[in-house]
């Protein structure tokens, strides 16, 4: 490309270069062709074979780099395919700049083939910003505004629709701008919270995805240790946020009011950090918290603060607020008794069949502590949380919102961010939503080891059906899918294991793949669903990241 021509394309390319968005994820179509003229040598185009795969890969890349990732989608149809993944990115606060092609401006009024009607409305409400610029010359400035909004807390996806004839029109360049988005709470509010922490007897912290998003783990750990607070992860969190081997860590809160209340009834003060505490998946009539428990909620999203039905909310980014809070604490907590240690699950053994717990125990023994774990296995989430402990900041990624097909391509983008091997544990049902991501992984030799737990269907749906006295549940059997052959067809080496005696060696081979070896898939036939749960049912999930059908 010639940066001196002064076109929309020139200005956009330079802006993307200035902001580090030189890896572009997408699935191209006719309305994007002019965007690709004289494709710059320092840009990489990562092709996803379906638009939701492209968005999820971009999300993984954004989470790995800490920068917004650029996604190129094809007009109305491509945006429609991608919306489930855009929904996940919005709920999980992932900064994405989504650009979609549109038919040329003279054609728009004629309702053309592939044209998008009201394109700015299409992805709402699951984007922070959505616009089709009024003039071609405005495209670079609108893109720059969208990028700044995507990167402002709470971060999330933004959308810009670009008519295909805009790219060759003249447009001024966009000067890079810095926006420092951290902001802190009112000093009096933090002083009040510090006084409550000093005076309470049994404090608890509830850590949400905002802690990981704002890189505030060190500050949370300092606060927990200073106050000897029990630490829980919020329901349905898509991120890590506290080292799970830490003696103060207590576990993962369930998405049902009665069970959540039972977990928190021992505490007289609960401080929620970067999380919507009351994310439920099951309806109960219980109050959100025990009557005697005082609640404080710190988050950068004023919408969450307004919605929370009880307690005191402090609108703030976490890093500066937690540092100020630590400085305000007294020393009275030094005599406070720490919470009990979290109980470790009993080890399992198998004779005839492989259970999910056996796979996860072996994975826990072998997984390096600096290895990122991506997970989308809703049937086995309780067992994963109980048996595979993640201590690395940013070391655990899943979907906190529930649209399936996220995990497999998310792992591709995350591994592309730093080219270090990671492990993705994925269920058979989840994998079939986005199995095309294996092609991209193979094409770019992405260092991902997939451990695919195959229980032959949507086991979580069957379990939830049992919970409400529905059995059998139609449409929950899959079976007969040869994932090893499917992976090989996409160019990804794979192996299959179904006998317990074969599993350790097979898992060793899968995890021994190097950072330069490309993807590898281990297809493991397992029986049943995970049984590690504090639920009074056999749902096998602490809520799991399930879609509307709870697959």
Q: Which residues are catalytic?
A: 29-30, 32, 51, 74, 281, 402
What's the CA gap between 429 and 283, in Å, rounded?
Answer: 25
The burial class, CB within 10 Å (0-12 / 13-18 / 19+), for 325 is buried
Question: Are 203 and 227 spatial neighbours (Cβ–Cβ below 8 Å)?
Answer: yes
What's the CA gap between 342 and 339, in Å, rounded?
Answer: 9
Kind of pairing between the strands at 494-497 and 448-454: unpaired
Helices (H) and strands (E) in the chain, counts: 19, 18
What's the CA gap between 367 and 88, in Å, rounded?
Answer: 27
What's the CA gap between 370 and 361, in Å, rounded?
Answer: 17
Query: How large is the angle between the packed helices 217-227 and 318-328, nearest 10 degrees?
Result: 20
What's the CA gap between 355 and 365, in Å, rounded?
Answer: 16
Taking every pair of Cα atoms in the chain, the longest distance, rounded to a whole number of angstroms, is 74
H-run or E-run covering 233? strand 230-233
What's the CA gap between 132 and 124, in Å, rounded?
Answer: 13
3-state DSSP helix/strand/coil % of the chain, to nearest 5: 35, 15, 45
H-run or E-run covering 415? helix 407-418
Report residue 67 CA to chain centroid gap. Answer: 15
What's the CA gap between 459 and 439, in Å, rounded?
Answer: 27
- Tell me the CB-side half-sphere exposure of residue 447, using CA atoms within 13 A: 18
User: Which among 341, 378, 343, 345 has a CA at the least distance from the CA of 364?
Assistant: 345
Q: Which residue has the tokens 């091997």?
A: 421
Q: Checking phi first, is residue 540 left (phi over 0); if not, alpha (psi -120 to 50) or beta?
A: left
- 231 strand-pairing partners: 205, 249
Buried/exposed code over 360-384 (b: 16+ C-beta within 10 A; e: otherwise): bbbbbeebeeebbbbbbbbbbbbbb
Coil vs helix vs strand at 303: helix
User: Which among 367, 460, 446 has a CA at the least distance from the CA of 409?
Assistant: 446
Question: Are 524 and 359 spatial neighbours (Cβ–Cβ below 8 Å)?
Answer: yes
């Amino acid at each position: 490309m010639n940066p001196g021509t002064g076109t929309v394309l020139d200005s956009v390319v330079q802006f993307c270069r200035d902001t580090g968005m030189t890896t572009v994820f997408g699935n191209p179509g006719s309305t994007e062709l002019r965007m690709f003229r004289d494709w710059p040598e320092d840009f990489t185009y990562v092709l996803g074979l379906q638009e939701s795969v492209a968005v999820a890969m971009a999300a993984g890349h954004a989470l790995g780099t800490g920068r917004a990732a650029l996604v190129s989608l094809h007009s109305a149809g491509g945006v429609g395919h991608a919306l489930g993944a855009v929904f996940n990115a919005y709920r999980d606060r992932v900064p994405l700049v989504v650009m979609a092609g549109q038919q040329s401006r003279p054609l728009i009024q004629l309702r053309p083939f592939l044209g998008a009607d009201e394109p700015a409305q299409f992805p709402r409400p699951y984007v922070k910003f959505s616009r089709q610029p009024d003039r071609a010359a405005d495209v670079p400035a609108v893109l720059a505004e969208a990028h700044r909004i995507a990167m402002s807390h709470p971060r999330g996806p933004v959308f810009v629709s670009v008519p295909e004839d805009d790219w060759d029109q003249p447009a001024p360049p966009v000067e890079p701008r810095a926006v420092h988005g951290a902001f802190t709470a009112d000093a009096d509010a933090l002083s009040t919270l510090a006084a409550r922490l000093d005076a309470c007897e049994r404090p608890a912290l509830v850590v949400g995805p905002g802690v990981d998003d704002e890189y505030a783990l060190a500050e949370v750990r300092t606060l927990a240790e200073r106050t000897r607070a029990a630490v829980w992860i919020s329901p349905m969190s898509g991120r890590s946020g506290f080292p799970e081997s830490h003696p103060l860590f207590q576990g993962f809160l369930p998405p049902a009011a009665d069970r959540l209340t039972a977990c928190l009834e021992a505490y007289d003060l609960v401080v929620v950090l970067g999380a919507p505490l009351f994310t439920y998946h099951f309806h109960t009539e219980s109050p959100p918290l025990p009557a005697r428990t005082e609640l404080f909620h710190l988050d950068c999203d004023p919408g969450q603060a307004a919605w929370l039905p009880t307690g005191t909310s402090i609108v703030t980014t976490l890093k500066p607020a937690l540092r100020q809070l630590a400085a305000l604490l007294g020393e009275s907590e030094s005599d406070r008794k720490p919470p009990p240690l979290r109980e470790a699950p009993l080890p399992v053994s198998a004779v005839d069949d492989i259970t999910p717990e056996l796979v996860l125990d072996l994975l826990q023994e072998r997984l390096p502590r600096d290895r990122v774990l991506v997970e989308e296995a809703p049937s086995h989430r309780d067992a994963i949380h109980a048996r595979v402990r993640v201590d690395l900041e940013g070391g655990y990624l899943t979907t906190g919102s529930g649209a399936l097909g996220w995990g497999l391509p998310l792992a591709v983008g995350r591994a592309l961010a730093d080219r270090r091997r990671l492990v993705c544990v994925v269920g058979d049902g989840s994998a079939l939503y986005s199995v095309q991501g294996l092609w991209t992984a193979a094409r770019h030799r992405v260092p991902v080891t997939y451990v695919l737990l195959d229980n032959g269907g949507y086991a979580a749906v069957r379990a939830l059906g049992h919970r409400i006295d529905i059995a059998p549940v139609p449409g929950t059997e899959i079976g007969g899918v040869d994932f090893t052959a499917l992976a090989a067809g996409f160019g990804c080496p794979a192996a299959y294991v179904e006998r317990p005696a074969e599993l350790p060696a097979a898992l060793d081979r899968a995890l021994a793949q190097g950072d330069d070896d490309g993807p590898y898939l281990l297809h493991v036939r397992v029986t049943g669903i995970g049984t590690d749960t504090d639920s009074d049912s056999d749902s096998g999930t602490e809520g799991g990241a399930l879609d509307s059908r709870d697959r």
